């Protein structure tokens, strides 16, 4: 989520408004093979994200002769898209977070992707393609970029402690304690902490971050049943144990930075680069920033230590969404095909900051052919071998938010009863699943 795009539900009015230009109605729109594509990307106008997307669009235009107009919107992105939906005049393409698949499908603003019309989809990593597949088994997006979580460690601090790169959670906790108690910055003050945690309830940050430890412990937020329905899973022994371990970092070991329960990613990022925290679980998108603010020699990138079960961490990414009602569906498909091609993936990865492909989703592309920095390979290996996406359910947001509220409360109030809170959370998750019509009986 640090880099991932945000989506807010457009509301029932917008859904009804685009009903006439949804997947079924899109085929009735008169096609114009010469029509330029309008592409929206949720990023800051004039920033590196816009520059990178324009570079990618220009490469596509040079390759195919098809025109693409890039519009970068950050403030009120969802509101502006809602307005265009109400006018039945959606942009042709929206570059959005893969986790928003269910929401966008439910709103009827994207059309189903016919993989046979998008050359190169057979080269996509299976995990990436699965992230674009909805609960009905149909594909509604074309993934073009991926990211996974790895562990950043203050290398200079670790050298002072004499402790190894943590391979287990026990070693991880020991290093976090050392960073908190052994004055690793040498300033003579007790002002450093072991782990940076964005524990705010805002946008579900607490559960987003915690998922990197929950899945490795064998726990889960919700569990898919054989019949395709889901049941809540936060009160299981595995999930409860994972929450207890995470909570102990804050309440017993006290190795998490003060105020973590009120922090989203921007202030948490600052604690790491300001030398207040010594470890941080994040995606690769922050490396350019930390290389500049800290110096790349000051920190190392390693896999998150193995949990009770395995080393599974959160995978995220972006997808090309082919919006309903386009007058040039062939160009939509051609753009998606180019972005996932080996050429498009490499163009998207080029640059120190203005790149739009974090990790390649094309299995024929090796990230090291574009980026020689070995830290990128660490991330690529983690993504391919140890990462999973949030499930593609109609709306993941309430699941993430309800669990974030509980995890946040537990690290903010050390007196709360853990088992009671987990049971209560499962009740909320069950209600959310039932509302979406996917609750197991």
Checking if the pLDDT of 27 tops 90, the result is: no
For residues 155 and 297, is the Cβ–Cβ distance under 8 A? yes
| pLDDT, tens only, 386-411 | 999 999 899 899 999 999 999 999 99
User: Which pLDDT does position 82 carry in this prediction?
Assistant: 84
| pLDDT, tens only, 193-227 | 999 999 999 989 999 999 999 999 999 999 999 99
Torsion angle defined by CA atoms of residues 420, 425, 431 and 434, in that order, rounded to the nearest 10 degrees: -120
Burial bucket for residue 298 (CB in 10 Å: 0-12, 13-18, 19+): middle
- Averaged pLDDT, 271-288: 96
| pLDDT, tens only, 337-381 | 999 999 999 999 988 776 889 999 999 999 999 999 999 999 999
Rounded CA-CA distance 35/42 in Å is 23
Rounded CA-CA distance 382/147 in Å is 9
pLDDT band at 99 (very low <50, low <70, confident <90, very high): confident
Would the CATH topology of 12-148+315-388 be identical to that of 150-194+266-303?
yes
Cα distances (Å, whole numbers) of residue 20 to 13, 84, 294, 321, 324: 13, 13, 52, 18, 9
- Averaged pLDDT, 90-94: 98
pLDDT band at 383 (very low <50, low <70, confident <90, very high): very high
- Mean pLDDT for all residues in the chain: 92
Cα distances (Å, whole numbers) of residue 110 to 23, 82, 90, 129, 138: 7, 13, 10, 16, 12
User: Which pLDDT does position 354 carry in this prediction?
Assistant: 63
For residues 161 and 178, is the Cβ–Cβ distance under 8 A? yes
For residues 436 and 394, is the Cβ–Cβ distance under 8 A? yes
pLDDT band at 93 (very low <50, low <70, confident <90, very high): very high
Cα distances (Å, whole numbers) of residue 12 to 79, 86, 87: 13, 11, 14
Rounded CA-CA distance 18/37 in Å is 19
Checking if the pLDDT of 3 tops 60, the result is: no
Checking if the pLDDT of 172 tops 90, the result is: yes
DSSP state of 162: T
Pick the CATH number of 150-194+266-303 from 3.90.350, 3.30.450, 3.30.70, 3.40.190: 3.40.190
For residues 84 and 39, is the Cβ–Cβ distance under 8 A? no
Sketch the domain layout of the chain as residue ranges.
Answer: 12-148+315-388, 150-194+266-303, 198-255+395-441
CATH of domain 12-148+315-388: 3.40.190.10
- Under CATH, which architecture does the 198-255+395-441 domain have? 3-Layer(aba) Sandwich (3.40)
CA angle 427–429–430, rounded 5-degree value:
65
12-42 burial, b at 16+ Cβ within 10 Å, e below that, comes to eebbebbbebbbebbeeeeeeeebebbbbbb
> Could you give phi then psi for residue 139, rounded to 5 degrees?
-95, 130
- Averaged pLDDT, 39-59: 93
Task: Return the top range by mean pLDDT from 4-18, 74-88, 176-190.
Answer: 176-190
User: Which string of DSSP letters, residue by residue, matches 190-212?
Assistant: S--EEEE----SGGGHHHHHHHH
């Amino acid at each position: 989520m640090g880099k991932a795009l945000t989506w807010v539900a457009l509301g029932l009015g917008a859904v009804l408004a685009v009903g006439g230009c949804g997947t079924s109605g899109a085929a009735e729109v008169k096609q114009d093979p010469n029509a330029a594509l309008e592409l929206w990307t949720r990023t800051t106008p004039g920033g590196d994200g816009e520059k990178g997307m324009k570079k990618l669009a220009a490469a596509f235009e040079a390759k195919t002769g098809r025109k693409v107009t890039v519009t970068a919107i950050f403030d009120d992105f969802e509101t502006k898209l809602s307005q265009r939906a109400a006018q039945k005049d959606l942009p042709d393409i929206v570059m959005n977070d893969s986790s928003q698949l269910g929401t966008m499908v439910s709103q009827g603003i994207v059309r189903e992707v016919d993989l046979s019309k998008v050359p190169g989809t057979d080269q996509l990593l299976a995990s990436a393609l699965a992230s674009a597949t909805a609960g009905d088994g149909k594909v509604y997006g074309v993934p073009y970029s991926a990211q996974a979580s790895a562990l950043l460690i203050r290398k200079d601090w670790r050298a002072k402690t004499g402790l190894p790169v943590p391979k287990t959670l026990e070693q991880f906790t020991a290093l976090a304690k050392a960073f908190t108690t052994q004055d690793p910055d040498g300033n003579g003050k007790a002002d450093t902490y072991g782990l940076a945690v964005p524990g705010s309830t805002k946008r579900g940050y607490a559960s987003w971050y915690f998922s990197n430890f929950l899945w490795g412990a064998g726990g889960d937020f919700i569990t898919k049943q054989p019949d395709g329905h889901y049941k809540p899973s936060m009160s299981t022994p595995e999930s409860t144990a994972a929450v207890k371990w995470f909570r102990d970092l804050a309440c017993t070991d006290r190795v998490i930075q003060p105020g973590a329960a009120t922090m989203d990613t921007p202030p948490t990022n600052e604690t790491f680069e300001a030398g207040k925290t010594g470890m941080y679980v994040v995606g690769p998108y922050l490396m350019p920033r930390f290389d500049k603010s800290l110096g790349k020699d000051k920190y190392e990138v390693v896999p998150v230590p193995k949990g009770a079960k395995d080393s599974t961490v959160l995978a995220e990414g972006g997808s090309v969404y082919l919006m309903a009602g386009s007058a040039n569906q062939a160009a939509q498909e051609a753009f998606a095909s180019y972005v996932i091609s080996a050429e498009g993936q490499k163009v998207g990865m080029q640059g120190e900051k203005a790149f739009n492909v974090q990790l390649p989703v094309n299995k024929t592309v090796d990230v090291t052919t574009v980026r020689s920095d070995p830290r990128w390979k660490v991330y690529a290996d983690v993504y391919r071998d140890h990462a999973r996406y949030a499930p593609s359910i109609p709306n993941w947001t309430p699941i993430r938010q309800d669990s974030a509220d509980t995890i946040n409360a537990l690290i903010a109030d050390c007196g709360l009863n853990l088992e009671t809170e987990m049971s209560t959370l499962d009740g909320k998750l069950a209600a959310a699943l039932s509302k979406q019509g996917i609750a197991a009986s």
